[in-house]
């Protein structure tokens, strides 16, 4: 083998090395229970938790805290994961617009003390993109119902 081929191979090997090292750095979907265990084991990696917001019968989210006058960069809310474990999520940014309209959220972060500190929140709004249809339907349904009533009279 000649020098250039060796260089080429080395270059490719380095590149593959970068990519492979990458795949060990995979963030995963977990539960709060696992997140707590990770914190106990001093595992600092960030994980994704999919959870649902806790709402009352009127659809209002319970236990949410955001007081921008006191601290615009502090927002917290309780979240229930897929195993129904509840945990307080803390997010050091303003409350996302449309948070009130969400049902499910994905929080990305790690457990610290008794709270889950999120670096990112992804909203799953029934209104947006993928699930757009559902929201629109129910919205239109109301309107159509109104019109139906109007026709009856």
- Residue ranges that bind other proteins, judged by CB under 8 A: 2-5, 7-8, 11-12, 15-16, 18-19, 22-23, 25-30, 46-48, 50, 66, 68-74, 90, 92-95, 97-98, 101, 106, 108-109, 112, 115, 117, 119-120, 122, 124-125, 127-130, 132-133, 135-137, 139-141, 144-145, 147-148, 151-152
Q: How many CB atoms lie within 10 A of CB 48?
A: 15
Least separation, in Å, of the C-beta of 58 and other proteins?
14
Q: Which is nearer to other proteins, 86 or 145 (CB)?
A: 145
Q: Are 62 and 56 in contact (CB under 8 A)?
A: yes
Phi, psi (deg, nearest 5) at residue 51: -145, 165
Cβ proximity to other proteins: between 40 and 97 the closer is 97
Distance CA 109, CA 118 (A): 4
Distance CA 8, CA 38 (A): 41
CB of 14 to other proteins, least distance (A): 8
Closest separation in Å from C-beta 57 to other proteins: 19
Residue 53, burial from CB neighbour count under 10 angstroms (0-12, 13-18, 19+):
buried
């Amino acid at each position: 083998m000649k020098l250039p081929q060796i260089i080429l191979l080395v270059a490719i090997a380095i590149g593959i090395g970068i990519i492979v090292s990458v795949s060990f750095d995979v963030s995963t979907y977990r539960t709060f229970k696992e997140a707590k265990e990770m914190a106990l084991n001093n595992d600092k990696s960030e994980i994704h938790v999919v959870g649902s917001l806790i709402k009352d019968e009127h659809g209002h989210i319970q236990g949410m805290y955001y007081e921008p006058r006191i601290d615009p960069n502090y927002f917290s809310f309780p979240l229930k994961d897929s195993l129904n474990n509840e945990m307080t999520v803390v997010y050091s940014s303003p409350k996302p617009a449309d948070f009130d309209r969400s049902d499910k959220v994905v929080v990305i972060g790690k457990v610290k003390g008794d709270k889950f500190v999120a670096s990112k929140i992804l909203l799953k709004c029934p209104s947006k993109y993928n699930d757009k249809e559902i929201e629109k339907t129910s919205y239109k349904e109301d309107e159509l119902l109104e019109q139906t009533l109007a026709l009856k009279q």
